[in-house]
Amino acid sequence: MYVCLCKGITEQQLQQAVEQGDSYAQIRQKMGVGTDCGCCGQSAKQMIREHINKMPVCEFAEAS
Ligand code: FES
């Protein structure tokens, strides 16, 4: 599914970027999500948040 029609960015591409540790700001800068018409910005942020919440928690992060 396309998240950003202006730049042709799919949900899968966003997920891969998040898995590589990119923040929304980095994804925006690298891929151009939300930089043209801006319609996709909020939905892209929401997808990134949801994907981060589904990622496994680092055991070291819970210990501290
Ligand atoms: S749909 Fe993403 S900038 Fe237009």
Q: What pLDDT score was predicted for residue 13?
A: 95
Place of tokens 């997920």: 15
Contact in structure between 18 and 45 (CB atoms under 8 Å):
no
pLDDT in tens, 29-60: 999 999 999 999 999 999 999 988 888 887 77
20 Cα to the center of ligand 1, angstroms? 22
Mutation probe of ligand 1 site: the residue of 40, 42, 47 with most atoms within 8 A of C-beta: 40
pTM, entire model: 0.80
Confidence of residue 15 (pLDDT cuts 50, 70, 90): very high
CATH class in words for 2-63: mainly alpha
Give the CA-trace dihedral at 16, 46, 21, 54, to 10 degrees: -80
Using the structure block, give the residue that is written with the tokens 């599914």: 1
CA of 25 to the centre of ligand 1 (A): 15
List, in order, residues 6 or more apart from 4 with CB less than 8 Å away: 31, 32, 33, 34, 36, 40, 44
Q: Give the domain ranges of the chain.
A: 2-63
